[in-house]
Structure 1
Amino acid sequence: MKHSFFRFLLVGIINTIVGLSSMYLFLHPLHFSYWLSTFLGNTIGCCVSYFLNKSFTFKSDKPFASSITRFIGVILICYFLSYYIGEKIALLLFSQLPILPSAYGKDAAMLLGTGLYTICNYFGQKYLVFRRESLAG
C-alpha cells in the first residue's frame, strides 16, 4: 500500500462504516433531518479521519494547530458541495424515473453525496492539508 490513494480508501472504508452508519441511525431511528443526519455522521467520521489520514495515509508531520484548521475547512467545503449536489441529482433522478420509490430519494442522495465527498476530500486533504513540502524548494 505505497500509494496514498489506496491508504486513503482504506481509511475511507473505516470512515464510511462509522459515518454512514451514524447518518442512517440519525435519519431513521432518531428521525433527524437529512442535513442534521449527514452533518453529525460526517462530524463523527471526521474525528477518526483526521488522525488516520495524518498518521497513516499521508504520514504528515505537520503540527496539529496548522493542519486542523485546513482539515476542517476542506471537510466543510467538501461536505456542503458533495451533499448538496448529491441531493439535487438524486431528487432529479427520482422525480424523472417513476419506477424508483420516492421514499428512497434521501438514502440515494446520501450514498451519492458520500461518493462525491470521498473524491473531493482526497484531493483537498492531499494538496491542501497534508501536502509535503518540496525538498528542492
Structure 2
Amino acid sequence: MTIVNNSFTRFLLVGIFNTFVGLSTVFVFLNLIGLSYWTSAFLGNSIGAFVSYFLNKRFSFKSKLGFRQSFWRFILVIVLSYFLAYSCSLLFTQLFIVRFLSLQDAYVKNIAVVLGASLYTILNYMRHKYFTFRSKKETGKEKLKIS
C-alpha cells in the first residue's frame, strides 16, 4: 500500500493545493486590490471551493455520487464552515490579539485570515468525510458495524 492510497493523505495533498490557491487569492484581493476582509475571504474561498470539490470528489474520496447529489452537500458544508471559521477567527483576533498586542488593523485581519483558513480546513475535512461524499451504502455499512 502506497501512502497516496490513504484517503486522508490524499485529502491533505488536495488541501495543501487548495489552501495555496485560496489563501493566495484572499491575500491578493485583500492587500493588492484592497477589497474588504469579508469580500476577500469569500472570493478566495469560492475559487478554492470549486478546485476542492472536483479534486476531493475524484481524488481524495473517490466518490461515485453524482454531481446533483454531492454538490449541494458540498456547498452547504462550505458555507457553514466558512461563516463559522471566519467569524470565530475574526472575533478571536479582535478580542485577544488586539488586547495584548498593538497591531495595525491590516495585521489583525491577516492574522484572522490565517486562523480562519486553519479552522475552515479542519471543519471541511470532517464534514466532507462524514457527510458530503458519503453514500447511503457506506452509511448503512457503518451502522451495521456499530450495532
Distance 2:97 2:103 in 1: 6
Asked which structure has the greater CA Rg, the reply is: 2
Runs of 4+ in 1 over 4 A off after TM superposition: 99-102
Q: Is the 8 A contact 1:94 1:102 kept in 2?
A: no
Deviation at 1:8, TM superposition (A): 1.1
Match of 1:94 among 94, 97, 113: 97
Deviation at 1:99, TM superposition (A): 5.3
Higher helix share: 2
Q: 1:1-20 counterparts in 2 under 5 A?
A: 1-20=4-23
Distance 2:6 2:80 in 1: 25
Tell me, what secondary structure is at the counterpart of 2:115?
helix
Deviation at 1:94, TM superposition (A): 2.1
Q: Which runs of 5+ in 2 are unaligned?
A: none
Partner letter of residue 89 of structure 1? F
Q: TM-score, normalised by structure 2?
A: 0.87
Distance 1:131 1:17 in 2: 26
Distance 1:35 1:99 in 2: 22
Match of 1:61 among 53, 60, 64: 64
Q: TM-score, normalised by structure 1?
A: 0.93
Question: Aligned pairs, how many?
Answer: 137
**29-38 or 3-12: which moved more?**
3-12
Distance 1:100 1:4 in 2: 40
- Give identity over the alignment, percent: 49
Q: Is the 8 A contact 1:26 1:32 kept in 2?
A: yes
Q: Is the 8 A contact 2:98 2:108 kept in 1?
A: no
Cα deviation 1:78-132 (Å, max 9, x = unaligned) = 0000000011111122222135555410000000000000000001111111014
2:129 corresponding residue in structure 1: 126
C-alpha spacing 1:102/1:27, structure 2 compared with 1 (3 Å): closer
Q: Which runs of 5+ in 1 are unaligned?
A: none
Tell me, what secondary structure is at the counterpart of 1:29?
helix
Cα deviation 1:22-81 (Å, max 9, x = unaligned) = 000000111100000000000000110000000010000000111000000000000000
Deviation at 1:5, TM superposition (A): 2.0
